[in-house]
Amino acid sequence: MNAKLSILFYAKRAKTNANGLIPIYLRVTVDGERIELTTKRFTHPDKWSVEGNCMKGTSAESKATNSYLDTLKARIFEYQQELIRNDDLVNAENMRNKILGIEKRSHMLIAIFQNHNNEVKALIGKDFAAATHVRYETSLKHTVDFIKWKYKVSDIDIRKIDHEFITSYEFYLKTKCNCCQNTTVKYIKNFGKIIRICIANGWLDRNPFINYKSRMVEVERAFLSQDEIETMFNKEFATDRLNQVKDIFLFSCFTGLAYADVKKLKRTNIALGVDGERWIFINRTKNRYTFQHPITTYFVCYS
């Protein structure tokens, strides 16, 4: 939808200078919002036409001033078309910046993504797990490769990201990276966090994920039967290292603890429970919930 734009030149009689001249001002109105700037031109009060928004007469001074005002007016309409071509909003702020020659700062996608990942890395062990950082770094690599493949550039202004960008990225992940549906959804979800950061900071005026839908596919997960666990439990490997790997895997099976939780497990995480038996007390890495489980139940069937 095009913004309604009007241009008016007027003389401020309240600001008469020592020579008895008054300044000519420019007023640009965009959808009811005004911008008022000086043109740096002056006129005698009697020589200004309120109805014509210009200087009266055909003197050289009048012709020069009116020609300048016409040029300035034409330039403002050019700024309007430039904003439209660049897919920027035609609003009062952007028009003011164009008139004053203030370039709007570009926010680049890859730079923002990398800064986010650096912050995640700095917060490993506090707010994030190391695996989370690795996941975002992989997502960043896919994003870098995608924009090189699609746009032949190393970075892109986040204002250029739209619905077509996201659907093309999804296509790229599935075809060029051979990602399955669920893996693709996870990478797109990681990318979505970067977009939310941009929106929260006011760098994006609209959410490119509106009208985009992609769902996880239900996967039937395989699980070990009791016979398979018993076979593994009774298996003796040739090296202590493999036997230790087997014990850790079985420990995870018996407790339901993820590898990341087992890896950080310490003797201090084992204490007496309310029943007087030994229990495991640990904060889960993924959701930081407190995990409590009796140890004795692990060996009932295999002691």
**Are 77 and 114 within one domain?**
no
**Are 31 and 83 within one domain?**
yes
Quickly count helices (H) and strands (E) in the chain.
Answer: 9, 8
Give the separation between CA 91 and CA 55, rounded to whole angstroms.
Answer: 29
**Are 94 and 118 within one domain?**
no
Ranges 189-193, 243-247, 293-297: which has the least confidence: 293-297
Give the separation between CA 181 and CA 270, rounded to whole angstroms.
Answer: 40
- Tens of pLDDT, residue by residue over 109-131, are 999 999 999 999 999 888 888 88
Q: Which of 100, 118, 152 delimits the end of a domain?
A: 100
**Are 96 and 114 within one domain?**
no
**Are 69 and 146 within one domain?**
no
Domain hosting residue 165, numbered range: 109-200
Give the separation between CA 23 and CA 30, rounded to whole angstroms.
Answer: 23
Q: Which of 45, 65, 100 delimits the end of a domain?
A: 100
pLDDT band with cut points at 50, 70 and 90 for residue 65: very high
Residue 39 lies in a domain: yes
Spatial CB neighbours of 54, under 8 Å, sequence gap ≥ 6: 9, 48, 62, 65, 66, 69
Give the separation between CA 98 and CA 80, rounded to whole angstroms.
Answer: 9
**Are 236 and 256 within one domain?**
yes
Strand, helix or coil for residue 272? strand
Strand, helix or coil for residue 129? coil
Residue 214 lies in a domain: no
**Are 81 and 116 within one domain?**
no
Ranges 194-203, 218-227, 283-292: which has the least confidence: 283-292
Hey, what are 89's tokens?
A: 């909003």
**Are 96 and 119 within one domain?**
no
**Are 246 and 293 within one domain?**
yes
Residue 127 lies in a domain: yes
| Contact (Cβ atoms closer than 8 angstroms) between residue 156 and residue 108 | yes
Q: Is 248 exposed, middle or buried (0-12, 13-18, 19+ CB in 10 A)?
A: middle
| The pLDDT of residue 232 | 87
Residue 254 lies in a domain: yes
The model's pTM is 0.56
**Are 89 and 21 within one domain?**
yes
Residue 219 lies in a domain: no
Q: Is 147 exposed, middle or buried (0-12, 13-18, 19+ CB in 10 A)?
A: buried
**Are 252 and 295 within one domain?**
yes
Residue 188 lies in a domain: yes
**Are 121 and 84 within one domain?**
no
Domain count across the chain: 3
Q: Torsions phi, psi of 200, nearest 5?
A: -60, -30
| Contact (Cβ atoms closer than 8 angstroms) between residue 55 and residue 48 | yes
Percent of the chain whose pLDDT exceeds 70: 94
Residue 207 lies in a domain: no
Strand, helix or coil for residue 102? coil
| The pLDDT of residue 127 | 86
Residue 221 lies in a domain: no
Average pLDDT, the chain: 88
